[in-house]
Structure 1
Amino acid sequence: MTGYTGQTPDTLARDTDWMDDADCQGYDPDLWFDGISVFEAQRVCAGCVVRLTCLEHAMESEASTSLYSRYGIFGGLTPGERVALRRARQNAARSARRRARLHQLRLEAA
């Protein structure tokens, strides 16, 4: 894939100093975007000290409908894996709200 500069688009003005510490620095960015080198990209991400920060950056970017991170490996996860993680987080939040409501109803009934 061409055209990716490794820079955060201006539309995503965030603190990106953490990128300087990423293990992927010095690698060809296509490794994370070509769809062929998924396992190699994930191997590099696996031991990265900013992996979780990278993942959260991608999740926030995708939530704001930014297309730049809807492709490629971020934080060691593929786009499909990030979708699954987002759904799991949403389900967990929904369950927590439901439990809190039930607890409140029990307190009120007591």
Structure 2
Amino acid sequence: MLKTLCQFNLQSGVDPDEFWHTLVEDHAPATLAVAGDALAGYLLNRSDANGAPAQAPYQFTVELYFDSVEERTRFLTQVETIDDDFDAQVQGFVAYAVDELVMRTPSHHRG
């Protein structure tokens, strides 16, 4: 499975709580409606709002999972058609493919 991370911060003046609500309630459903069939997984992450988000290099991370390079390419083409205010609210957007290895602790290997 292929994984792509998208990380970004918000433009000055954009309320993080309002953005999170819009991301979860509007942008993510629009993404799934337009390109969800190309995704094998889709996770939204926000730096801990009750912790110290200013210390995190990015306020938001989106994890995208794909079954193939072709599916990732198709997704990126389809998602460009979403016409919302997302791009105008973010800054420092980066996206990159990563290798992921999940390690389980001994307590998760109970039989």
- Structure with the bigger RCO (C-alpha within 8 Å, sep 6+) is 2
Normalised by the length of structure 1, the TM-score is 0.31
Higher strand share: 2
Larger Rg: 1
Normalised by the length of structure 2, the TM-score is 0.31
Higher helix share: 1
